[in-house]
Amino acid sequence: MEILTNDYLNDLKKIKETIRNNQNKAMVIVNSAMIMTYYEIGTIINNRKTWGSKYIQKLSEDLKEYGGGYSYGNLKYMAQFAQNFSCNEISEQPARQIPWFTIVKIMQKSKSHEEMIWYINETYKNGWSRSTILKQFEAKAYERNLIEPKTTPSIKDDDRIEGLFKDTYVFKFLDKESTKKKKLI
């Protein structure tokens, strides 16, 4: 039996760190692309839809081949997302680096544009999970911050990336199986 040397163990550690770091970079890039895609889709929907025309319903049916990320409800969220934010806010803000349904929850719970931006920034800065954000809304963190600003320690990128791994929409965004099946038919 071969004895593991310190050199080998050090190499193994470096390789594992390299893999983890690059997986994390890939998740951030994919999430960012997905958020921008959803913003662009929302913009297109907002430019064309007329309420009562079943436009979004038809889109949802015609986009099934791209996976569950294009459901009727999610397309409505995309339209709301594009309506609530400018392209500059999305491309320059941390919104591209937090999970999609975290953004959706923030949009649903916020009373103003400024509140949405504040929660997005705080989520990014502090690495809040979706359940933590809901607790922050219950505690009226935004309102309290307006009265008495407090700083909180930032979290590690690994914690933020963990939220992206848990967001199934990132994986649905990458699902090319349904697209491959369509091409074979």
Transcribe 98-147 into DSSP letters. S-HHHHHHHHHH-SSHHHHHHHHHHHHHHT--HHHHHHHHHTTHHHHHHH
pLDDT at 3: 64
pLDDT at 138: 94
Structural domain spans, the chain = 6-174
pLDDT at 135: 94
Q: How far apart are CA 1 and CA 74, in angstroms?
A: 56
Please check the confidence at residue 144 and state whether its pLDDT lies above 50. yes
Give the model's confidence band at 185: pLDDT under 50 very low, under 70 low, under 90 confident, else very high.
very low
Contacts of the segment 130-137: beta carbons below 8 A, 24+ positions apart: 130/99, 130/101, 130/102, 130/105, 130/163, 133/102, 133/105, 133/106, 133/109, 134/105, 134/109, 137/109
pLDDT at 136: 93
Higher-confidence position of 172 and 146: 146
Share of the chain above pLDDT 70, in %: 75
Q: How far apart are CA 173 and CA 33, in angstroms?
A: 9
H/E/C letters for each residue in 11-48? Answer: HHHHHHHHHHHHHHHHHHHHHHHHHHHHHHHHHHHHHH
Higher-confidence position of 162 and 86: 86
Higher-confidence position of 171 and 146: 146
Please check the confidence at residue 58 and state whether its pLDDT lies above 80. yes
Is the torsion defined by CA of 131, 135, 137, 138 positive or negative?
positive
Q: How far apart are CA 81 and CA 104, in angstroms?
A: 8
Which of 18-27, 63-72, 142-151, 158-167 has the lowest average pLDDT?
158-167
Please check the confidence at residue 163 and state whether its pLDDT lies above 90. no
Give the model's confidence band at 13: pLDDT under 50 very low, under 70 low, under 90 confident, else very high.
very high
Supply the DSSP symbol for 5.
P
Q: What is the mean pLDDT of residues 3-27?
A: 90
